Structure 1
């Protein structure tokens, strides 16, 4: 719990930093009827290329694929831990990686 609070404090401090790097991640559901494209931004290419950042992008794509339309993404409970929101997850990665991270945009396709 202490680490989560520290992570939120770190995220607030980093929120003003400019993000010029990042990745475009994708996910296609095994049923081939749901697809996701996500642009996830960070401050440096070093972080953008890290496995942790790639893992976050993948987790976010999975979340978007399972998304409940009536609830904004950041307020949704994380599919792997209903006690945490997507906002909590992103803030934890901001603290872990030491850089500001933002979901620039995403699109979810469904047949």
Structure 2
């Protein structure tokens, strides 16, 4: 299992490193050679392009999720200010967040992480859609801001409706969990890989 191999071998920092290491299931060959064998057997092109490895610094938890179709994989790292006595509750929160990332495919953690040029491009699109509208400019501006808010809800993890309870935002879910567990909880980072994705 390549995932387990990357997890256990701290020296693997890139896809290139992985391809040159010995394959854990058959140490007589490299991962690159094992991939070539899989290509021959399956008749499908397999390319390992990206790799991430999380190492927890401080208190918190890292959780992973591979979707049942094996096409989507997610890592989520949560940070806490101090140790949490109910590790299972923290693990459950982290797992719920991996499911959220797999299902909703956020591009950014928060509104503050969205690059200004991305926001400006969206704003221009929304303004162009209203150019022939006879509404006053202040109404148009409010419409644009409303559309931007909806845009943020689609692309920012903390602004998304929680997949298990769409009346609850992910940011609020994390805040509530922190109160229950007695320490602030923050998402340090998340990664979502999809087969065929970039």
- 2-side partners of 1:49 and 1:105: how far apart? 22
Considering Cα pairs closer than 8 Å and 6+ residues apart, tell me whether 1 or 2 has the greater RCO. Answer: 1
Q: Say which SS state the counterpart of residue 155 (structure 2) adopts.
A: coil
CA RMSD of aligned residues (A): 1.7
Structure 1 residue ranges, 4+ long, deviating more than 2 angstroms after superposition? 68-71
Which has a greater percent of strand? 1
1:36 aligns with 2:74: yes
Q: Which of the pair has more CA radius of gyration?
A: 2
Task: Give the structure-2-normalised TM-score.
Answer: 0.44
Partner of 1:110: 194
- The correspondence for 2:63, drawn from 21, 25, 37, is 25
Task: Name the CA shift for 1:98/1:49 in 2 (closer, same or farther; >3 Å).
Answer: closer
**Which deviations, in whole Å up to 9, do the C-alpha atoms of 1:43-95 show, x marking residues without a partner?**
233x1761110110000000000124442000000001111100110011011
* 5+ residue gaps, structure 1: 1-18
| Count of residues in correspondence between the two structures | 92
Task: Give the structure-1-normalised TM-score.
Answer: 0.76
* 5+ residue gaps, structure 2: 1-56, 107-153
